Structure 1
Amino acid sequence: MDDMLLGSRNKRGDWKPNRKNEIAPIWQFPWKGSAILGFLKGYLFPWNITWFATAVFMWFVVVPDASTMKTLAPGWIGLIFLCNCAAALILYGSVELRLYVKRAQGNKFKYNGQFPGDKKSDVFWFKSQAIEGALRTFLTAVPIWTAYEVLLLWSYANGFGHWTTLQDHPYLLVLVWALIPLWHETHWYMGHRFLHLPFFYKHVHSIHHNSVNPSPWSSLSMHPVEQMMFFSAALIHLVVPSHPILAMYSLMFSGLGAIVGHIGYEKIETKSDGAAIDTHAYTHYLHHKYFEVNYGDALIPLDKIFGTWHDGTEAGDEALDARMEKKRKRINS
């Protein structure tokens, strides 16, 4: 597939799609059936259905029975931790290996034409973005992810919360399942804006933004405080009627789904005949590029509402410049 048919490349080698960023069509009126159907397909496949399938697998294959989980014991907790490590290694490791180590499709559809591995930087551990990202993933992110998971499973086993079954409340659980991504985006938009306050940006969030040119291992490369905030969206399952599978889906959505905004490519080619996976990564890539735009991922139009939306066009650049100029004048006044 020729990436120049779908975008353009500047003198630095950075690729930009011809399309502009759009908020989800469910918020665009009047509704267009074809647009909504196309959105729903991309909403489910390949990402969300993969995170949900992983949660289902964990529940039926890995998670012990409730009587075992009533007591916090290293055996079942360690098994869940190792499975989460394996899931992160398989997903992040394989995509990083294919696109950034082997460079299987070169810089086709790559937003930033440079590869972070080609330039060492003192801001990273061992001067490597990938090494620091991997270490932060396994040293703090996966342990925090697992801690939330253990808390939720232990609560389920001990009857804390509003747990139910598909047999008892099928429609309610389907609704909760459908709303999990919407809740995740709302929760993280608020947390993300908070982390951009000067004090928290300097001492916490700046670690994640060191990856100006993100790659898969950048996804969970965060300060532990940010990781605790990021995964805390799953605590809602202690408040709303839910099932442990949905609680684990929430955590998979955070722990594995973070890759979506950090792939760095518009498409991942899967076959020589041009077949490719749409990554939906451009919205968050622009946040890493410009810092003060696109705090969310356009599933809910919060950036539009609060004036932080960037659609990837020159008009978006102009709107950002105007907003930053107003900010500078306000600070200097």
Structure 2
Amino acid sequence: MDDSLYGSRDKRGQWTPNKRPSREPLFVWPAQPRKFLVWMFGFPGYLWPWNTVLIAISVVAWIYLTPSLEAMREFDIGWVAGILLRNAALAVLIYGGLHMLLYIQRRQDTNFKYNSKWPDTDNSIFLFGSQTAENVFWTMCSGVPVWTAYEVITWWMYANGYILQLDIQQHPVYFIGLLLIAPAWLKLQFYLVHRLIHMGPLYHIIHRVHHNNVNPGPWSGLSMHTFEHIIYFSGVLFYFVVPSHPMNVMFCLMIQALIPALGHLGFDKLVTEGDKHLDADGYYHYLHHRYFEVNYGDTLIPFDEWFGTSHDGSAEADEAMYRRMKAKNYKRGGSRA
């Protein structure tokens, strides 16, 4: 599949898609009901394919790979270890599987790869000198345990009545509504905590670990300092105060745990067969890793457009970014030059 039909690569090896990131038809005025419905139910769109896949994974995990709430009323090493192993297996399957296909087997070479370079294997900025090794370390030794800790505590609270559990049969519309708003809630939560950890000392102490990945790959998605993992997975706390079903929580956790693999894929599209492909839609966040001070959020809720930090990869966006950075530096007492 020829990526030059969908974008262009400059002399520095940076591939830019012809289709630039733009806000979804949610926060637009005047309203665009037809576009909204196509986006909500079309392919690709809000539900299809990725959120539907995550809902399916959540259903399987809750029904077949999670103990009953009765069994989780008391903390026990057995069921806690079982959830930890399940989450570790999911991480290896999703993150490791994508890494295997794209970065080890290199099934599509650099087609649709934003940066033509491959991850560093001899760079002292990374643990063990290897970008992938550091990414795997932080994901498996910090990300998966923190994810599991939030999940274990949540199930224990459900089991002991500290969280009000929703009856799906009595409130099916409410249950579905909670499922539908979960991705949007997590986009909001992500933007808020992301802006927080880009501030001064928090960036240098915590978020810098993640931003070592200027040229991210799948394993970069959850490669974070442990304190960032604690903040990042806090989105599940929403369900501590809102009546919900454990399936709502499972879906929330699966989004936060697994979707970063796509957001940091490093490729714009996954080529499946011939000219068939799946959009990864990671360019907006890739630009954040490339430029640091743009695209703190997502196109679903256009905070970056509202606050002037959006970048779509165009030359005009470059100029706006440099003007903003110069003005920011000047206000802090820096030089205009």
Q: Greater CA deviation, 78-87 or 22-31?
A: 22-31
One-letter code aligned to 2:207: H
Alignment deviations for residues 59-115 of structure 1 (CA, whole Å, 9 cap, x no partner): 110222222110010111111111100111000001111111111101111111111
Alignment deviations for residues 186-235 of structure 1 (CA, whole Å, 9 cap, x no partner): 11101000100110011110000000000001010000000000001011
Mapped to 2, the partners of 1:34 and 1:288 lie a distance apart of: 34
Mapped to 1, the partners of 2:126 and 2:314 lie a distance apart of: 31
SS in 1 for 2:134: helix
SS in 2 for 1:196: coil
| Aligned positions of 1:145-224 closer than 5 A | 145-224=147-226
Mapped to 1, the partners of 2:145 and 2:183 lie a distance apart of: 22
Which position in structure 2 is the counterpart of 1:108?
111
SS in 2 for 1:268: strand
- From 99, 102, 106, the equivalent of 2:102 is 99
SS in 2 for 1:201: helix
Which position in structure 1 is the counterpart of 2:51?
48
Which position in structure 1 is the counterpart of 2:330?
329
Question: Aligned pair 1:85/2:93, yes or no?
Answer: no
Mapped to 2, the partners of 1:270 and 1:141 lie a distance apart of: 29
Q: CA deviation at 1:177?
A: 0.8
Which position in structure 2 is the counterpart of 1:11?
11
| Aligned positions of 1:14-93 closer than 5 A | 14-33=14-33, 35-40=35-40, 41=42, 42-93=45-96
Mapped to 2, the partners of 1:319 and 1:204 lie a distance apart of: 28
| Aligned positions of 1:125-164 closer than 5 A | 125-164=127-166
Q: CA deviation at 1:31?
A: 3.9
> Given the two structures, how large is their TM-score scaled by the length of structure 2?
0.95
Mapped to 1, the partners of 2:177 and 2:299 lie a distance apart of: 20
Which position in structure 1 is the counterpart of 2:279?
278
Which position in structure 1 is the counterpart of 2:266?
264
Mapped to 1, the partners of 2:70 and 2:46 lie a distance apart of: 36
Q: CA deviation at 1:19?
A: 1.6
One-letter code aligned to 2:199: L
Q: CA deviation at 1:38?
A: 4.1
**Which ranges of structure 1 fall in alignment gaps of 5 or more residues?**
none
Q: CA deviation at 1:163?
A: 1.3
Mapped to 2, the partners of 1:66 and 1:33 lie a distance apart of: 41
SS in 1 for 2:278: strand
Q: CA deviation at 1:135?
A: 1.1
Mapped to 2, the partners of 1:39 and 1:318 lie a distance apart of: 31
Q: CA deviation at 1:33?
A: 4.9
Mapped to 2, the partners of 1:29 and 1:110 lie a distance apart of: 34
Aligned pair count reads: 331
RMSD of equivalent CA atoms: 1.3
Mapped to 2, the partners of 1:123 and 1:55 lie a distance apart of: 36
One-letter code aligned to 2:36: I
Mapped to 2, the partners of 1:201 and 1:38 lie a distance apart of: 39
SS in 2 for 1:8: strand
Mapped to 2, the partners of 1:288 and 1:295 lie a distance apart of: 10
Mapped to 1, the partners of 2:28 and 2:20 lie a distance apart of: 15
Mapped to 2, the partners of 1:67 and 1:162 lie a distance apart of: 15
Alignment deviations for residues 261-291 of structure 1 (CA, whole Å, 9 cap, x no partner): 100111010002x100100101100100000
Q: CA deviation at 1:162?
A: 2.0
> Given the two structures, how large is their TM-score scaled by the length of structure 1?
0.96
Q: Greater CA deviation, 22-31 or 296-305?
A: 22-31
Mapped to 1, the partners of 2:13 and 2:68 lie a distance apart of: 53
Which position in structure 1 is the counterpart of 2:301?
300
Q: Greater CA deviation, 43-52 or 206-215?
A: 43-52
SS in 2 for 1:332: coil
Mapped to 2, the partners of 1:305 and 1:21 lie a distance apart of: 15
| Alignment CA distance shift 1:11-1:210 (3 Å) | same
Mapped to 2, the partners of 1:62 and 1:261 lie a distance apart of: 26
Q: Greater CA deviation, 4-13 or 36-45?
A: 36-45
Q: CA deviation at 1:32?
A: 3.9
